[in-house]
Amino acid sequence: MAIALKKRDFLLIGVAIAILAFLWQAPPESTSRVPLDDNHRQFHDLVKSEGKKAAEKFCEECHNKDDIPFPEGHPAKYRCLFCHKLGTP
Ligand code: HEC
Ligand code: HEC
């Protein structure tokens, strides 16, 4: 019985580590940043004043398949700023 419980504890720890590892590597450091240019300056301000979620609503006004298409194989598009950090490295 004691041994069975221990096994489950290790399993839970393993799952926790797997989730942490996944979250840790989710935004790759090489992901291009949101430039500080005339197209994006307003969003740098908006993120500061109202947060990322408020700014992300506008990204797809330009970044969509007709205007500025995403590169091939681009990951799921919600939460742009989770992966694309603001500004230059
Ligand atoms: C007014 C139109 C417009 C809006 C709105 C817009 N972008 Fe852009 N974005 C551009 C254009 C044009 C480029 C390509 C030229 C450049 O680098 O500015 C670009 C390029 C980028 C790049 C690539 C930069 C690089 O290094 O090549 C990223 C990342 C990006 N945008 C993210 C975002 C995010 C995130 C948002 C929402 C917060 C957003 N953009 C909103 C027009 C826009
Ligand atoms: C899960 C992470 C993730 C999310 C969410 C995400 N992207 Fe990306 N994006 C990437 C990766 C990875 C690349 C390819 C590597 C690179 O160029 O940064 C990329 C590439 C791009 C590029 C081309 C950059 C270049 O240099 O040519 C643009 C523009 C862009 N993303 C905009 C957006 C916008 C706008 C959103 C939200 C609607 C968004 N991304 C959401 C990860 C993400």
Q: Per-residue pLDDT tens for 21-50?
A: 877 766 556 788 999 999 999 999 999 999
Ligand 1 atom closest to Cα of residue 47 = 38
Tokens representing residue 16 in the block: 């926790």
Q: Which domains does the chain have, with CATH numbers?
A: 2-83 (1.10.1130.20)
Ligand 2, atom 31: closest residue by C-alpha: 70
Rounded to whole angstroms, the Cα distance separating 10 from 75 reads: 32
Element (H, E) at 14: helix 2-25
Query: In whole angstroms, what is the distance from residue 61 CA to residue 86 CA?
Result: 18
Q: CB within 8 A of 62, min separation 6: which ones?
A: 39, 68
- Statement: residue 9 has pLDDT above 90: no
Give the position, in ligand 1's atom list, of the atom nearest the Cα of 80.
35
Q: Pick the residue with more confidence: 11 or 77?
A: 11
